[in-house]
Amino acid sequence: MNYYNMEKHLVKYCCCYSSFFFLFNVIATYYYNDKLYMYLSLLLFSTSIMYHCNYTNYTYICDKIAIILFVIYGGYILYKKRNNNKIASMLILTLFISTIYLYYYGYYYNKYVFSKRKIESNLYHSLMHFIASVGHILIVIV
């Protein structure tokens, strides 16, 4: 595979590859014995792989449902732990707000995740996968 074909491949599939960050959430939630969070993490990983490797309306809807369930349950766990560690909670909220910013601000201004340049869009989306994964791992371990 030459450099040009490799670059095209990475541009097309970097979001698919970055979905593997969610496996760290599966491992963390398994280790900390939160079965529901583990299954939601596994669901999110699966739907993210399906969507980013095969863009269809069906995989889009499945991925959005998994994202919503994952975020709601993560928020619930964070709410239950709210008195444990204020600094960690602020970091988690900052990570959450940064994903909202990348997505919704980007949508409104055609930037970041919604950039017209596909490589930029996919790289920011991959960054969002990383930020979300780290934030949810922090929810579990704090």
Q: Which domain holds residue 23?
A: 3-141
- Percentage of the chain beyond pLDDT 90 is 81
Q: How many CA atoms lie within 13 A of 110 on its CB side?
A: 3
Q: What is the CA radius of gyration of the chain?
A: 16
More confident residue, 128 or 86: 128
Structure pTM? 0.92
pLDDT tens readout for residues 26-43: 999 999 999 999 999 999
State the DSSP code for 5. Answer: H
pLDDT at 5: 67
Report the distance separating Cα 85 and Cα 93, nearest Å. 12
CA distance 20 to 62: 17
For 61-108, write each residue's pLDDT tens digit. Answer: 999 999 999 999 999 999 998 777 889 999 999 999 999 999 999 999
Tally the domains of the chain. 1
